[in-house]
Chains A and B, each alone.
Chain A
Amino acid sequence: MGFHIIGDADTVLGYRFAGLSGDVVETAEEARVAFKAAIANHRKGVLLITEAVEDMLADDVTAHRLSSKPPYLAVMQDIWGPRGKRRSLQELIYEAVGIRIVQDN
């Protein structure tokens, strides 16, 4: 029950101040182990992962999302700023609905 975060040391430190439990991971292997453990242990909670972790585990994260099982995922930005171009939720919706808004330069 509750929240859990997986990310790099500095981001996790911040969320520790809000009383979250957290796993500090550096490599994709560590991240995968922590992600699997978090899914197994944190039933009915919210699992926060950083963008870096999402990039490391793209397949596992997508698979978990589509399984529609708790814990529910939310991706948070790393404390060191955004990691390049990402597909936002809005874009996901536009893509699914079939609208694409093209910016007129």
Chain B
Amino acid sequence: MSRLNIAPTKSNQLNLKRSLKMTSEGFALLEQKREILVMELMRLLDRVKVVQQELAQRRHKAYATLRKAASHNGYYHMRNIANGINYEHDVHSDTRVVAGIRIPTLSVKQGAFRSQYGFADTDSLVDQTMIDFLALLESAGKLAELETAVWLLARELKKTQRRVNALEHIFIPNYKDTLRYIGEVLEGKDLDSFFTMKMVKKRLAEAAEAAEAAEQAQLSDGDAPDTTP
């Protein structure tokens, strides 16, 4: 049990009631946001699995081909060939919004495979390297999109989780406890004042009675000499 350090007054009680209402609404909203984020992440998880598998396959193939090509043609020759290769890859990015977070979506337009070096002093392994790495690049583009989305969503989810927890376990119980405390104190005060009023009323009544009795006595005292003799 923990409560806020504020004076138990009627106006504070009203303010707190308003805060509690707002907090509860915020809690419900954040809870919804958390659910949306979890759903989105789980949806991405399926895609991540597929893309990573595809990427691993293509990467194995491409790296193996490169090693083979390098050992056949020699490292320096490969470097010379690579210097002459030029593709126009175009990356177009868009954003979609999930639970208030802007997430980029990428669409990659790759240059189509074409031979960019002399046939005379290159072998088919060089061609294959190029084809394999172009395929690998396609997966890499997808991975970039997924990585960005997952990082952003994961951070947002952690943040939301903390807020939900803070509201659920600290703010709302605090407000409730404080409200209960203020309610009790105010009720006690009410009872006190009611009792005081009763006492005052009783005393006033007694005083009035006494005054009347005294008056009566005085009256009868004043009358007596007149009537008795």
A residues lining the B interface (CB < 8 Å): 1-3, 13-20, 44-48, 65-66, 68, 70, 72-77, 79, 88-90, 92-93, 95-98
Contacts and interface: CB of A to CB of B under 8 A. Distances in A.
A96 B150 CA distance: 10
A70 B102 CA distance: 12
Contact of B91 (A45, A73, A76, A97): A45
Given A46-B106, A77-B59, A90 B133 contact: no
A87 to B, nearest CB: 11
Given A15-B133, A17-B133, A92-B154, A75 B147 contact: yes
**Which 4 residue pairs spanning A and B have beta carbons closest together?**
A19-B87, A96-B154, A74-B144, A16-B82
Given A2-B90, A14-B63, 10 more contacts: A1-B91, A3-B137, A17-B81, A18-B136, A19-B134, A20-B137, A74-B144, A93-B44, A96-B153, A97-B42
A62 to B, nearest CB: 8
B182 interface: no
B48 A18 contact: no
Interface in B75-121: 75, 78-79, 81-83, 85-93, 102, 104, 106, 108, 111
Contacts of B92: 44
16 contacts: A2-B88, A14-B133, A17-B81, A18-B130, A44-B91, A44-B93, A46-B91, A46-B140, A46-B141, A65-B147, A66-B151, A68-B148, A72-B145, A74-B144, A89-B147, A93-B150
B41 A96 contact: yes
Contact of A73 (B67, B88, B134, B144): B144
A92 to B, nearest CB: 5
Interface stretch (B2-10, B155-163, B187-195, B202-210): B155-163
Contacts of A19: 85-89, 111, 134
Given A13-B66, A65-B148, A96-B158, A18 B91 contact: no
Given A65-B148, A90-B48, A17 B91 contact: no
A43 to B, nearest CB: 10
B49 A17 contact: no
Contacts of B41: 93, 96-97
Given A1-B91, A17-B82, A79-B63, A93 B154 contact: yes
Q: Which of A13, A47, A97 has the most CB of B within 10 A?
A: A97
B91 A89 contact: no
B133 A1 contact: no
A19 B113 CA distance: 10
A97 B38 contact: yes
B178 interface: no
Contacts of B133: 14-15, 17-18
B85 A16 contact: yes
A72 B59 contact: no
B152 interface: yes
B91 A74 contact: no
Nearest to A45: B91
Contacts of A44: 91-93
